[in-house]
Chains A and B, each alone.
Chain A
Amino acid sequence: MIFEDISVKSGNFNGRTYTIKTVIGSHIYEFSIYGLDNAGFQSDKIYLDNIIDSFSLN
């Protein structure tokens, strides 16, 4: 599983994205939280951590 946390600036937009990716067979599964600003990102990042904890193969 890969964890990626990047900050992006484009024009007036200062966003932050937190992503986990994993490869299973011929598929890439990816979960991301997109925050439009750093404060908003911080408030919702915990949800992705919870999703990671619940993630399992069927």
Chain B
Amino acid sequence: MRNKIFIFLAVSMFCLILTVLHAQPIKDFEDSVAKTVTNNKQEIYNDQTVIFTYPAKWKKASSDIYSQMHQLLDHDLSKINRFIIELEVYTSPNNEGNYLVFDKTQVQDSISIEFLLSERNKTDYDALASGYLTKINLLMEFP
């Protein structure tokens, strides 16, 4: 339970960091070449395993925000033998305080989607009880 609370706290801390940093000027950091192809409206992410598109107007977050989030996730996920191998953070064109985050995590032992849902259920329940989470608006599995 403690590890799961740590992970939830990491997310909450990230949100707080964003609160502090989002007013700072955004500067692009070096692009992770070759994985994105630009057209006029969409960026295409392709890592040989998955493909998805995201709005071309979303810009990469500042290196400060990126590195702080990476450190938080590395620190907390390592406690449960999970490791970040990909992290992308983009800022919204509508509101620099809003972020799109994509991450790819390596797990040591294979897990099922049912296990992941059960894990989130427990984590959210513990976080609600601890007061870090105020409301679960939705938690569901969709096939």
Contacts and interface: CB of A to CB of B under 8 A. Distances in A.
Interface of A: 1-11, 13-17, 21-37, 40-41, 43-44, 47-48, 50-51, 54-58
Interface residues of B, number: 57
A1 B15 contact: no
A7 B15 contact: no
B124 interface: yes
A26 B97 CA distance: 32
Given A10-B16, A22-B113, A4 B101 contact: no
Interface of B: 11-12, 14-16, 18-19, 22, 42, 46-55, 58, 82, 85, 92, 94-95, 97-108, 110-113, 116-117, 120, 124, 132-143
A27 B19 contact: no
Contacts of A31: 52, 100-102
Nearest to A48: B100
Contact of B16 (A13, A21, A25): A13
B87 to A, nearest CB: 10
Contact of A34 (B14, B82, B105, B132): B14
Contact of B51 (A15, A28, A55): A55
Contacts of A1: 113, 141-143
Contact of B116 (A10, A23, A51): A23
Nearest to A32: B101
Given A7-B135, A7-B137, A23-B111, A35 B52 contact: no
Contacts of A36: 15, 18-19, 22, 95, 97-98
Contact of B113 (A2, A7, A10, A44): A2
Contacts of B14: 34
